[in-house]
Amino acid sequence: MSTAGSIIYKAFMPTLKMVLCILLGFFATKKGWLTAPGAKGLGAIVIQITLPALLFSSMVSAFTPENIKAFGPLVIVAVSYQILGLFFAWCIREIFYVPIDFRWGILVSGLTSNWGNLPTAIVQTMAKEAPFNPAVDVDLGVAYIAIFIFIMNTTFWGLGVHKLCAWDFQDNRRIPDHPPLKERWSSQLELTKGKLSKWTGSRKDTRIDMESQTIPGMEMIDQTSEEHRSVLRELERNGIEPYLPPSDPHSSQEIISAHPTSSIDPNGPIRRCSLQIPQYSSDKDQSGSEPTAISEQDHESVLSPVRKPIWKKICLLFYNLPNVTKAIIISIPIATIQPLKALFAETEGWSGSKMPNGPDGNPPLAFVIETTSFLGAIAVPGALLLLGASFARLKMPKNWKDLPLGAIVALTISKMILVPIFGIFVIQAFRDHTSLFPREDKIRTFVSILLSGTPSQVIQLVVTQTYNPDGTAETLSSFLLLQYALMFILSTAIAAIALYIVER
- Sorted by sequence, the CB contacts under 8 Å of residue 320 that are 6+ apart come out as none
Q: Is 115 a member of any domain?
A: yes
pLDDT at position 208, please? 41
- Say how many domains are in the chain: 1
Q: Which domain holds residue 427?
A: 4-176+321-503
Q: Is 304 a member of any domain?
A: no
pLDDT at position 236, please? 58
Segments of the chain scoring below 50 in pLDDT: 203-224, 247-294, 299-303
The span from the CA of 494 to the CA of 415, in Å, is 12
pLDDT at position 380, please? 82
The span from the CA of 115 to the CA of 450, in Å, is 10
Q: Is 340 a member of any domain?
A: yes
CB 387 within 8 A of CB 72: no
Q: Is 337 a member of any domain?
A: yes
Q: Is 332 a member of any domain?
A: yes
CB 121 within 8 A of CB 145: no
Q: Is 334 a member of any domain?
A: yes
The span from the CA of 485 to the CA of 488, in Å, is 7
Residue 342 belongs to a domain with what CATH number?
Answer: 1.20.1530
pLDDT at position 157, please? 77
Q: Is 485 a member of any domain?
A: yes
pLDDT at position 226, please? 54
CB 407 within 8 A of CB 98: yes
Q: Is 214 a member of any domain?
A: no
pLDDT at position 251, please? 46
Residue by residue, DSSP assigns 169-201 as T-TTTPPPP---HHHHHHHHHHHHHHHHHHHHH
pLDDT at position 290, please? 47
